[in-house]
Amino acid sequence: MNPISIPFIPGRFYGPCILASALALLPTISAAAGGKDDDLVYDMNADPVVLAEMEVYGSQGTATGYQARQGTTAMKTETPLVDVPQSIAVVTRELIDDQAMRSMGDAVRFMPGVGIAQGEGNRDTPVLRGNSSTASFFLDGVRDDVEYLRDFYNVDRIEAIKGPNAMIFGRGGPGGLINRVTKQARPTPVRELAFTVGAWEQYRATLDLGQPVSDRLAVRVNALYEDSASYRDGFTLLRYGVNPTVAAQLAPRTTLRAGFEYFHDERVADRGVPSYQGRPLATAPETFFGAPEQSPVTATVRAFNAALNHDFGNGLTLRNTTRFANYDKSYQNVFPGAVNAAGTTVALSAYNNATDRENLFNQTDLIRTVTTGSLEHVLLFGLELGRQTTDNLRQTGYFTAVSPTTTSVSVPVSNPRYTLPVTFQPSATDNNNHGVAESAAVYLQDQITLLPQLQAVLGARLENFDIDFRNNRTGATIAQGDELVSPRAGLIWKPVPTASVYASYSEASVPRAGEQLASLTVTNRVFDPEKFENLELGLKWDLRPDLSFTSALYRLDRRNVVVADPADATRSILVDGQRTEGLELGLSGRVHERWSVTAGYAYQEGEILSTQSATIQAGARLAQLPRHSASLWNRVDLDDRWGFGLGWVYRGEIFTSTDNTVRVPGFARVDAAVFCKVNDRIRAQLNVENLLDREYFASAHNNNNITPGSPLAVRLSVTTRF
């Protein structure tokens, strides 16, 4: 019998290669031993058989079914999630496929402590620990902070990293952030074509095509086309995208990944229904308030990414990442306002908004693993440079059929569609801005193994953020600079290798920018950034290799909120703004070989700490924050061909805004699915959303923009591998 010799090079992952090679060589091993496959004899003195060196692109073995075990996003180093002192929820590719997810709203249902707001029907707006934000988005760890609606056609997994973590990600992310990890070229072939047809004329196709060109070069293309309508009358959606990527091994220890994405999304801006007497107006879920024909949304993204990695050996690695992206976004909407006291008419208003932004970011990370005495260190030194150029123009809608100056009309609640022309032109206060934001940051992090059972994380980021802002309407200019210091500290105790108890503290800052600057005058300027401070205790436990449990207790404080000075309305002051406290529980993975599960629960209390205006009073509950929310999804495979899924989503009552005058009732929804493997190349699935056909309200933007949830909807998907 000839034993196997595997060449080892630091920084490369050999586990899957060793396993695959060993399995492939079983017949040879058996024959050399002169025995059967299940009766092996090993000759330790025989000459070695040296296998060809194999390079593995990307992280392997980081996810099993619905469970994620490892990642680089939260720490910027390859770290098991059980060793990260922060609450993280991951929606894997398997869960995305099994649920037939298409939107961020679909994904966050399975992220404890994360909700979704309506976003005025034109942008993703997650609510993380009581803080809604349209800018807390990253793609492969790089900022992706433009307001648009993202698709998952090229996504490998979605990560919600909860609590502020500006030490790693920089300014913003007050309640956390959402990072999309994209599919990348790899040395194994991928040939997959999927079609989906569903209720209300949904038609969708995706392509995932990857191929190794040589032993050092691989390419991959992901593409999307969708043309759909909706249960909402007048709504349409057309989107398409293509994302080619390449992975090249430039030298034995140097790899380059690069990709380009073109993504285009056209839809109708749907602002939902208004409220009446403190509740969403009782109307059919398909009723559209406004003018869908005059409410177009378009977003086009052109983005280039490149990542260069070099392993120097001896525990030293260099990584450089660049992202350049151009975002062209415009939307127009005719939308509902207040219903009159009699409940017979509703006010309509209109405006449009166009934003053009260019982002350029470069990150350089140097990672060093060292041992000093009895201590082991994983040191991260980082530099990030960024530049964002933004042009923004808003125009008011005038209902000229009434008069040239009319900006609001009333229509019957029984027939709230508006069909007469609307003219859009700048008003005296509409935004017309140009801004350039530049940032430069250095950061240092040390992951210290103090004892086999005790680890610590210490880090800090120093960021210089400068913005030059011009109000084109008035000619006023503002130049503002901030020096932001963002610390992070965590302590992890591991009573057993598969479990950890942690405590952590982190901060983030949100500088004044955009419309906040447009509203400032010489007498009311208050520029200090808002501050967010998070204290967290947690437990993570891998109950078995493919099943993980997580829990976290946290308190998140928001400080430096700008309010009018009660003694002088022309001036502004800073006050402590709000506090959110909560408990998050999560379970994901396999309970049994044929039973996969993901489950989550969150209890959250959010309160306004200081009176900030006539409508934002101390003691009010935070908007869009349910006390209780929960989700559960099960997939059971009956055999190698058939399986089924059954799930439940619950969200408690929420207030639509911090004035606490309108409540959206809680709801519970049941979803189901049937899976069939037709043959080795074709699989099919039938997804049913809202199986019991319950009426509910899914999200809100304010008191009069509340989105009804979908009635029972069926989608059939067929995927073929070729």
Q: What is the mean pLDDT of residues 207-226?
A: 97
Structure tokens at 615: 């409508």
Tell me the pLDDT band of 569, cut-offs 50, 70 and 90: low
How many C-beta atoms surround the C-beta of residue 539 within 10 A?
15
User: Is the Cβ–Cβ distance between 388 and 359 less than 8 Å?
Assistant: yes
Question: Is 514's pLDDT higher than 80?
Answer: no
Q: Which residue has the tokens 């009581």?
A: 130
Tell me the pLDDT band of 708, cut-offs 50, 70 and 90: very high
User: What CA–CA distance (Å, rounded) separates 77 from 75?
Assistant: 5
**What pLDDT shows up at residue 173?**
87
How many C-beta atoms surround the C-beta of residue 56 within 10 A?
16
**What pLDDT shows up at residue 478?**
87
**What pLDDT shows up at residue 567?**
62
β-partners of residue 365 are 319, 382
**What pLDDT shows up at residue 575?**
67
Question: Is 11's pLDDT higher than 50?
Answer: no
User: What CA–CA distance (Å, rounded) separates 172 from 175?
Assistant: 9
In order of start, what are the domains of the chain with their CATH numbers?
A: 1-54 (no CATH), 190-329+339-394+407-721 (2.40.170.20)
**What pLDDT shows up at residue 139?**
97
Question: Is 520's pLDDT higher than 70?
Answer: no
Spell out the residues 6+ positions from residue 629 whose beta carbon is closer than 8 angstroms to its own. 112, 113, 115, 601, 602, 604, 650, 651, 652
**What pLDDT shows up at residue 45?**
42
β-partners of residue 228 are 237
Question: Is 450's pLDDT higher than 50?
Answer: yes
User: Is the Cβ–Cβ distance between 580 and 612 less than 8 Å?
Assistant: no
Q: What sections of 52-130 are H helices per DSSP?
A: 93-99, 104-108
Q: How confident is the model over 117-138, as pLDDT tens digits?
A: 999 999 999 999 999 888 899 9
**What pLDDT shows up at residue 493?**
98
Question: Is 709's pLDDT higher than 50?
Answer: yes
Its pTM stands at 0.88
**What pLDDT shows up at residue 323?**
98
Question: Is 33's pLDDT higher than 50?
Answer: no
β-partners of residue 632 are 599, 648
User: Is the Cβ–Cβ distance between 166 and 460 less than 8 Å?
Assistant: no
**What pLDDT shows up at residue 631?**
97
Question: Is 15's pLDDT higher than 80?
Answer: no
Nearest partner of 597 among 160, 8, 64, judged by Cα: 64
User: Is the Cβ–Cβ distance between 11 and 314 less than 8 Å?
Assistant: no
Question: Is 664's pLDDT higher than 80?
Answer: yes
User: What CA–CA distance (Å, rounded) separates 31 from 37?
Assistant: 8
Q: Which strands sit side by side in the sheet containing 125-128, from one edge to the other?
A: 114-117, 125-128, 131-132
Tell me the pLDDT band of 511, cut-offs 50, 70 and 90: confident
**What pLDDT shows up at residue 62?**
63
Range scoring the smallest mean pLDDT among 173-182, 542-551, 562-571: 562-571
User: Is the Cβ–Cβ distance between 536 and 556 less than 8 Å?
Assistant: no
Q: What is the mean pLDDT of residues 275-290?
A: 96
Q: How confident is the model over 67-87, as pLDDT tens digits?
A: 999 889 999 999 999 999 999
Q: How confident is the model over 229-255, as pLDDT tens digits?
A: 999 999 999 999 999 999 999 999 999
Structure tokens at 82: 């059980």
For the chain, give the mean pLDDT: 89
User: What CA–CA distance (Å, rounded) separates 703 from 706?
Assistant: 7
Range scoring the smallest mean pLDDT among 5-19, 340-354, 659-673: 5-19
Distance between the two ends of the chain, CA-based, in angstroms?
38
User: Is the Cβ–Cβ distance between 490 and 456 less than 8 Å?
Assistant: yes
